[in-house]
Every structure is written in structure tokens, then in C-alpha cells.
Amino acid sequence: MELTAAQAIWLLPPVLPICVIVAWNDMRAMKIPNWTVGALLVIFAVFGLIAFGPQIWAWRWLHVVVMLIIGMALNAGGAMGAGDAKFIMAAAPFVAFADLTNILLILAVTLLLGWAIHRIVKHSPARRLVPEWESWKTGKRYPMGFPLASALVFYLAWPFLF
């Protein structure tokens, strides 16, 4: 993993609350608020410069552009929601290109676990804690903000976990 503990210590604390809000709001309303995407970009603009230094920081903005284009194409093709595409775009500069395989593995795990947790809670008495959540009523649709935000948090926490 290319991400170091020194870099993660700068990035994880400000990113964590935004990711919690993204996951919660996407399960509650099936929407990822635009301000959370903007907040991630501002966090990267400030803390990313400190964590990575100017040269790496500047190159990481290319990740934003690439993922914006890919996300727009996937959204236009109906493969993903606009909020999910925007979140991926805003999360992209936090992830080193060398860690692409790692983040995809983390995303696969968070997607499967998130889906299982969401479905288990949906069909359990625990659902009564938040009966108004839109994601309970959307049929096969699933709030991808939950696994996407979880994947970013686990990626940034990785240097402390292993």
C-alpha cells in the first residue's frame, strides 16, 4: 500500500465525518448531498497538500478529472447514480494510482458486506430504529454511498489496521 500512516493521519480525521454523513444520508434519502462532495475536495485541497507535498498533490487532481469523465459516462449509461459518480470523483485524489487494485478489493468487500448488512437490517426489527429511510422502499436499488464511503474510510485507515 502506497498510503503511509503519516499521510493517513492528516486525511482520515477530516474525511471520516463526511463519509459518515454520505453513508447515512444515502441510506436515509437515497441522495448524496453536493456539499459533501465539495467538502471532500476542499479537504483534499488543504490536507492533501500537507500530506502529499505539492508535486504528488498536483498530480492527484488528474484523478478527479479522469473519474469525473468516467462517472459522467457511467451515469449517462444508467450504470450509476449521479451522486455516486460525484462521490467517486471527489474521493479519487485520496487514492494513489499504485493502490488501484487495493481500493478495488476494499470496495468489493465493502459492497458485499454493506449490501448484506443493509438487507439484514431491512428485514429485521432493527429497521424500526429508522423506519423512514428511503432505502428500505427502493426495491432492488441500493444506496451505494454506504459502501463507497466505507471503502474510502477503510483505505485511509489501512496503515493503522495492518
Q: Under 8 Å CB-to-CB from 71, ≥6 apart: which residues?
A: 80, 84, 85, 86, 88, 89
pLDDT of residue 16: 98
* Single-letter code of the amino acid located at 87: F
Query: For residue 156, is pLDDT > 90?
Result: yes
Confidence tier at 139 by pLDDT (50, 70, 90):
confident
DSSP string, 92-158: GGGS-GGGHHHHHHHHHHHHHHHHHHHHHHHTSGGGGGSTT-GGGGSTT---THHHHHHHHHHHHHH
Per-residue pLDDT reduced to its tens digit, 21-65: 999 999 999 999 999 999 999 999 999 999 999 999 999 999 999
Q: Output the pLDDT for position 73.
A: 97
How far, in Å, CA of 7 to CA of 151, rounded?
17
pLDDT over 90 (residue 88): yes
Residue (of 16, 18, 11) closest to 33 by Cα position: 18
For 89-136, what is each residue's pLDDT tens digit? Answer: 999 999 999 999 999 999 999 999 999 999 999 899 988 999 899 989
pLDDT at position 106 is 97
**What are the sequence ranges of the domains in the chain?**
5-161
In this structure, how many other beta carbons lie within 10 angstroms of the beta carbon of residue 98?
Answer: 10
* Whether the predicted pLDDT of 7 surpasses 90: yes
